[in-house]
């Protein structure tokens, strides 16, 4: 399983149905020209990948981070990568529905590396289901 971020968007290849009882790893690759972050979130009840995608597409216009919170139950895993680097996200053994999120952050010369990531673009290339 792999999520790949480029300057044009984010894609996912690999299985989307996973067995419960064993952790899995998602390789994340940053082929973009700048720093990036990848997240794995547990989806909220009745939240669809289409709703997440629609909200993410609207985000650069609205800039309203509060609209993102109802989409997710909780964060599961996070990785940051420099341009051209890879890392991993880990999905645990718990049954549920999860979404891979690729974050292209705003690059601010004043931003400290310890500051929260402020997204410029968000992508949700895949929903993963761990059987229960």
Q: Which of 33-42, 84-93, 118-127 has the lowest mean pLDDT?
A: 118-127
pTM score, two decimals? 0.87
How much of the chain exceeds pLDDT 70, in percent? 89
- Res 48: pLDDT: 92
Structure tokens at 120: 């410029």
Q: Please name the fold of domain 2-109+117-130.
A: Immunoglobulin-like (2.60.40)
Confidence bin at 114 (pLDDT 50/70/90): low
Q: SS3 string of the chain?
A: CEEEEECCEEEEECCCEECCCCCEEEEEEECCCCCEEEEEEEECCCCCHHHHHHHHHHHHHHCCHHHCHHHEEEEEEEEEECCCCEEEEEECCCCEEEEEEEEEECCCCCCCCCCCCCEEEEEEEEEEEECC
- Res 93: pLDDT: 78
List the chain domain ranges.
Answer: 2-109+117-130
For the stretch 47-104, pLDDT in tens is: 999 999 888 888 777 777 777 888 888 999 999 999 999 999 999 878 899 999 999 8
Confidence bin at 110 (pLDDT 50/70/90): low
């Amino acid at each position: 399983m792999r999520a790949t971020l480029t300057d044009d968007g984010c894609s996912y290849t690999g299985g989307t149905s996973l067995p419960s009882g064993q952790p899995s790893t998602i390789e994340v690759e940053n082929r973009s020209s700048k720093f990036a972050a990848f997240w794995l979130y547990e989806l909220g009840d009745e939240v669809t990948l289409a709703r997440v995608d629609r909200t993410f597409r609207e985000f650069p216009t609205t800039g309203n981070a509060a609209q993102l919170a109802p989409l997710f139950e909780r964060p599961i895993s996070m990785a940051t990568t420099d341009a051209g680097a890879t890392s991993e996200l880990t999905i645990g053994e718990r049954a549920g529905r999860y979404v891979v999120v690729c974050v292209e952050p705003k690059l601010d010369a004043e931003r400290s590396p310890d500051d929260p990531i402020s997204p410029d673009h968000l992508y949700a290339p895949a929903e993963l289901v761990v059987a229960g």
